[in-house]
Structure 1
Amino acid sequence: MGRSGGAAGELRARRAREEAAAREARLDGLAERRDSAWQEVEDRIATKLPGEYDRAVSLLADLHALADREGERAAFTRPLRELRERHRRKSGLQRRMDEVRPGPVPFPEHRLWEAVVRFHERSR
């Protein structure tokens, strides 16, 4: 591989580091407002607008990542189960959450990233 391949690899690595740092900063900010973030999820869902459902699910994905980072998964899964139960008749919301959560473990990382990317692509 020539020089250009190395430069492209370095660029990808730098972008990955920058994205990881930005995500950590976002999670740090979220940690300071965790309770209000859950309320924001509820408020977005209450609008019954598809775009707001997307934003609510994106915020849920960040709350999940925060819980994982802090080793507090139960602090995420219990309120998530309750939220899903309260909004069980909102099929569009349930479908969005299912897209992010394909199995028994809520929001696995590989699906989480795909969902966040889809959300940001729709937001443009």
Structure 2
Amino acid sequence: MQAGPIKAIQNITLLHCIENLPPYQFARDRLQNRSPAGPRRGELSTWIRGLPEKDKNELLITAAVDLGERRRNDLVRRFRRRNLQQTSDVLAASERRKAGDLLAAAHVRAKERARLLNEQRTAEAAKRRAEDLANRERYLDQLGRRQLEIWKQVAAHVQTRQPKDYDRAVSLLTDLHDLSVRRSQTAGFLTSPEKIRQVHAAKESFLSRLAKANL
């Protein structure tokens, strides 16, 4: 056999060997739409799913460490982004809790202030009523010492036929009525307004004021 044909056969044999090395064989199989040598993706998936959790974690860590530079950088970015998001979520949740605690505390303080203010107002109102009652009793005591003079003032106010004097006359009659109640002498008082009605029957405005005052 001549040297030319032998050399050609050697070249073809060498090329065939190179093409059947794992990297070239994988590339060739991909170009020819054939599955590469080794287990298929589904087979690997089934096998990995059946591994213990510890083995799966170790396998995942090894795969991440052994990835190429570009894929490893992408994985690191995803890890950092996720870690940053988790940290942000924790901080946000903490801030929400702090804000909620502050709002709750403010609400409690506001309720306490409202309660104290209400108690203060109630106490002040009771104090004013007690003071008004004491002042009223002192006034009636003074009025009791000059009843005759007060009756004369009532008659004088009614005679003027002026609305303001009518009001003043009714106010004095109310004081005299309260004095009679305080002294348990209402029977004697009731005859006086009745006589006034008879004397001033023509003064409808005055009589109307007496009726409104329940006199």
Counterpart of 2:189 (choices 76, 84, 92) is: 76
- Distance (Å, rounded) in 2 between the aligned partners of 1:22 and 1:84: 30
State the structure with more CA Rg.
Answer: 2
Who is 2:158 aligned against? 45
Post-superposition CA distance 1:31-72 (Å, at most 9, x none): 000111111100011111100100100000000000011011
Taking structure 2 as the reference length, the TM-score comes to: 0.46
* CA-CA distance at 1:27 after TM superposition: 0.3
Corresponding position: 1:57 with 2:170: yes
Q: Which runs of 5+ in 2 are unaligned?
A: 1-113
SS at match of 2:193: helix
Specify the code of the residue in structure 1 equivalent to 2:164. Answer: G
**SS of residue matched to 1:3:** helix
- Give 1:80 shift: 1.1
What CA deviation, in whole Å up to 9, does each residue of 1:57-91 have, x standing for no partner?
00000000000110111221111110111011101
Corresponding residue number in structure 2 for 1:90: 203
Where 2:185 maps in the other structure, the secondary structure is: coil
The residue correspondences of 1:26-41 to structure 2 (distance < 5 A) are 26-41=139-154
1:66 corresponds to 2:174 = no
Structure 1 segments unaligned to the other structure (5+ residues): 107-124
Question: Take 1:53 and 1:45, find their aligned partners in 2: how far apart are those partners?
Answer: 6
Structure 1: 4+ residue segments shifted above 3 A: none
